[in-house]
Chain A
């Protein structure tokens, strides 16, 4: 089974092709936020480099949130239309699961944090190598997908009293606070595993497809996690 995955939920624009045995190819840019212009040329470039066509793909996958509302819509609109044009199934992979996947296997906890503005982070808490595989690939999610202040996250993590490995673009603005509160228990990932990777989305999509979690292009929707500001103001 061959999957083409797209990642545009944050500052990264990336595409990857993988099958059950290996990662076949991956293009990754974390340079300028011009996802609308970059994404399709990246995709075409990767396929050309691999001497492959869209028709060789069995599934199209996308990082479906949370993240930048606009970034999510660019990736999801792209993958929905690819599914529609080629009449192939699609998979929406939670962005935080993708980030956690970057860091397995790992003793202790894994905590991706994405800068969600307004002094909050998008986050959840994961454990690898667990016997109960709630996500697959040896990754278990221990909490909800959340948009919370980093202080609230630290309180949750302290209760586990275990080492925690962090990644995501929230590490940079919040590292000092985390380190101050958690001391030696807090670790940050290497730069190579810090940001969203299309390869992780591709691998999780394959796991999800094996569990029958593919969707029709009509069913795939962004997972915003937050309402629009107008809806929040109106208390809807």
Chain B
């Protein structure tokens, strides 16, 4: 019998198991992370090794450097994680790993590691979509949250409005047609010479700036669909900065940061509320790196209160790329019998639905 057949056999009675322990592995970009999670909701061990410092001098993530770092740190990181959880590697009920979307070389380190661990430990392998992971981070923070709900996923690589119909059942209502929201943050931060990554620093400066110093365009805000576009906004900000520089006009970086952020947040909030109203969703869930943005949380929270909707978002730690969210998503896939075979590959442009 092949490994895959043995694993399908092994999970037949997973429903009856009171405790299901999953090791989650995440290496899709510049964070190496591993976590041990019980029943999809309770984090028993969690480690994140960020590479931000390594990439800072290049002004962004260098894929080859990221891949090299993942190989160096992933195995000891897994050891530290299981040690923290105080559960030996041999007792894992499954190994979940991000297999896309992301940087292919970076993803491959996690995928190759997870496959060999799963095969070596004789435990199921579970390939997880990175965004499914981000959505699932909320299951860890909000113990009673269950689908259906509407989810806004915003990060350096993604801007999606997703209808979460059930565990693992997603409907994409809208997405960015060009740059992701976090990508626009990074590019504006680079133009303002604020370094990398752009999100946290712009968010911080914006709190001391005038959000209506300039009214930048709000792409598609009046359009009936739920798609985003941040490339035009980014260009408008950069052109505006250049023209002020040429005219020798002085400006406060704080005001630019606040005005840019307000345009992004306005679009995200309006589209999300509109989608929630149209789909009669009472619950809105934030996910992804930009879910840690203070202006987005505050303003979406205010609108939700006006509309009588509930807003959920992960803790800042679980907004970043992390292994716990992958373990949680992996748990729900395992419960539905969705295990991967040994041909699992890294897929940089993996679609969610």
Residues of A with Cβ closer than 8 Å to B?
34, 36-41, 43-44, 48, 54, 69-70, 73-74, 76-82, 84-86, 217-218, 221-222, 224, 228-231, 234
| Residue from B67, B89, B117, B345 within 8 A of A36 (CB atoms) | B345
Complex contact A76–B71 (CB within 8 A): yes
Complex contact A228–B113 (CB within 8 A): no
Q: Is B202 an interface residue (CB 8 A)?
A: no
Complex contact A85–B75 (CB within 8 A): no
Complex CA distance for A80 and B108, rounded to whole angstroms = 14
Q: Is B85 an interface residue (CB 8 A)?
A: no
Which chain A residues border B113 with CB–CB below 8 Å? 77-78, 80-81
Complex contact B112–A41 (CB within 8 A): no
Complex contact A231–B65 (CB within 8 A): yes
Which chain A residues border B109 with CB–CB below 8 Å? 73, 77
Among B65, B67, B113, B116, max chain A CB count under 10 A is at: B116
Complex contact A44–B3 (CB within 8 A): yes
Q: Is B243 an interface residue (CB 8 A)?
A: no
Which chain B residues border A81 with CB–CB below 8 Å? 75, 112-117, 120
| Residue from B71, B78, B342 within 8 A of A41 (CB atoms) | B342
| Residue from A34, A73, A76, A234 within 8 A of B105 (CB atoms) | A73
Minimal Cβ-Cβ distance residue in A for B89: A85
Complex contact B105–A70 (CB within 8 A): yes
Complex contact A222–B71 (CB within 8 A): yes
**Nearest CB in chain A: distance from B340 CB, A:** 11
Complex CA distance for A128 and B108, rounded to whole angstroms = 37
Q: Is B346 an interface residue (CB 8 A)?
A: yes
Among A44, A77, A79, max chain B CB count under 10 A is at: A77
Question: SS class of chain B's interface: helix, strand, loop or mixed?
Answer: helix
Assuming the A-B contacts A36-B346, A84-B75, A234-B58, are A77 and B119 also in contact, with contact meaning beta carbons closer than 8 angstroms in the complex? no
Complex contact A85–B117 (CB within 8 A): yes
Complex CA distance for A221 and B114, rounded to whole angstroms = 17
Which chain A residues border B67 with CB–CB below 8 Å? 69-70, 73
Complex contact A77–B121 (CB within 8 A): no
Complex contact A234–B112 (CB within 8 A): no
**Nearest CB in chain B: distance from A80 CB, A:** 5
**Nearest CB in chain B: distance from A147 CB, A:** 15
Which chain A residues border B308 with CB–CB below 8 Å? none
Complex CA distance for A70 and B106, rounded to whole angstroms = 9
Complex CA distance for A37 and B346, rounded to whole angstroms = 9
Which chain A residues border B114 with CB–CB below 8 Å? 81
Complex contact B345–A77 (CB within 8 A): no
**Nearest CB in chain A: distance from B104 CB, A:** 8
Complex CA distance for A150 and B350, rounded to whole angstroms = 40
Minimal Cβ-Cβ distance residue in A for B346: A36
Minimal Cβ-Cβ distance residue in B for A78: B116
Which chain A residues border B71 with CB–CB below 8 Å? 73, 76-77, 80, 221-222
Assuming the A-B contacts A85-B117, A85-B120, A221-B72, are A228 and B62 also in contact, with contact meaning beta carbons closer than 8 angstroms in the complex? yes
A-B contact pairs, 8 of them (CB 8 A): A37-B345, A40-B119, A54-B120, A77-B113, A81-B115, A82-B116, A85-B121, A228-B64
Among B62, B67, B342, max chain A CB count under 10 A is at: B342
**Nearest CB in chain B: distance from A53 CB, A:** 9
Complex CA distance for A78 and B2, rounded to whole angstroms = 19
Complex contact B343–A77 (CB within 8 A): no
| A-B complex: 3 closest residue pairs judged by Cβ atoms | A85-B120, A81-B116, A77-B112
Q: Is B111 an interface residue (CB 8 A)?
A: yes
Which chain A residues border B89 with CB–CB below 8 Å? 84-85
Q: Is B240 an interface residue (CB 8 A)?
A: no
Which chain B residues border A80 with CB–CB below 8 Å? 71, 75, 113, 116
Complex CA distance for A69 and B115, rounded to whole angstroms = 19
Q: Is B74 an interface residue (CB 8 A)?
A: yes
